[in-house]
Amino acid sequence: MTEIKHKTFQSKGGKLVYHILIGLNKEVVILYIHGLAPISSLFIKRFIDQYHDFSLSEYSFIIPNLIGFGDSEKPDNLDIYIMENQGQYLYDLLLSEDIHKVIIIAMSMGGPVAISLIDKIRNEKNEKIEVKGLIYLEGNLDKNDTFFSSRIAKYPFKQFKEQFDSWINDFISRSKPENAGFWEGFRSMGPYPIWGSAYDIVILSESNQLLPRLQELSDFPMYFVFGERNKGRFSSESLVEEANLPVIYIPKAGHAMRDDNPEGFWKIIKNIVKNCI
C-alpha cells in the first residue's frame, strides 16, 4: 500500500503545501511541478487515483502547491511569484526532505520554475541533489507559448484586479458547464498570484533565453512532451526540434494531456522515467 503524506513547508515565500506519494523506489523521487491553473483537492485526488490506476507505485512523487496556488500561502507581493523564487522554494523543500536524486516533470508554467530549480542546484554546487532527468510538458520556452499569460500580463495589476471578477465570469459564460468549477478555482486564488505569475512568465518567455539556459545547465536526459492535438501550435516545438532534442507526443491529447489521455500519458512517462533512472 502506497504511503501518502500531506505536509507543509515554511518557505521564504510563505507556507508551501505538498503531498508525498511514497512508492517502492525511494531513492529517486519524481517532482511534479504544475502550471498556471487552480490546484484543488480534486487535482490531488485525480493524481492519486491515476497513481493507483496506472501502476505507478514503483515510484515516489512530491507534488507541491507552488506559492499562490492550492492551499499554499498567497501573499500580495510580486517578487514572491517570479519563477526564480518559486524555484528557490522548491530547492529548499528538496533539501528539507533530504532528496538526493530527482526526476522533474514540469507542466507549462512549471517549465521555467524547473529551470530555476536546476539552476539553484547547479549554482549552489550542492552535491547532495542530482537531477536524473527532466520531462518538459509543453513548458514555456518563448513568447508564443504565452497564449493565456499574455492576456493577463498586458494589464497593470490595478486594472486586472478591477476586472478580475468580470474576467472570470466571461470565461465561465464561454465554457462548457462542466468547466465552470475550473474557472471558479481561479476566483478562489484571487488576482495577485495569477497576475504575478503571468507577468514573470511573459518576461522570461520573451527573453528567448529559457532553452539556451536549460541546455547550458543540463547534463541529464531531457524530453519535451506535447499533446498530439497541439502539434505545430507552439513555436517552442520547432525550437526544440532545431536543437536536436527529443520531442514526444501524447496521442489523443491537448495541453491537459494527463487528463485528456491518462493511460497514454502515463505509459509514455513511465518509459521515459525508466530511461532516466
Within 10 angstroms of residue 96's Cβ, the number of other Cβ atoms is 13
- Residue 147's pLDDT is what? 87
- Residue 126's pLDDT is what? 57
- Residue 1's pLDDT is what? 61
- Residue 41's pLDDT is what? 86
- Residue 277's pLDDT is what? 87
Q: pLDDT tens for the chain, 277 residues: list them.
A: 678 999 999 999 999 999 999 998 899 999 999 999 999 888 999 999 999 999 899 999 999 999 999 999 999 999 999 999 999 999 999 999 999 999 999 999 999 999 999 999 988 765 689 999 999 999 999 988 898 999 999 999 999 999 999 999 999 999 888 889 999 999 999 999 999 999 999 999 999 999 999 999 989 999 999 999 999 998 899 999 999 999 999 999 999 999 999 999 999 999 999 999 8
Contact 132, 48 (CB under 8 A): no
* Backbone torsions φ then ψ of 138, nearest 5 degrees: 45, 40
Distance of CA 172 to the CA centre of its chain: 24
Distance of CA 143 to the CA centre of its chain: 17
Within 10 angstroms of residue 110's Cβ, the number of other Cβ atoms is 28
In sequence order, the β-bridge partners of residue 137 are: 107, 225
Domains of the chain: 3-145+207-276 (3.40.50.1820)
> Which one, of 197, 42, 50, lies nearest residue 111 by Cα?
197
User: What cell does 236 get?
Assistant: 517552442
User: What cell does 31 get?
Assistant: 517532482
Look-up of cell digits 487515483: 49
Contact 50, 101 (CB under 8 A): no
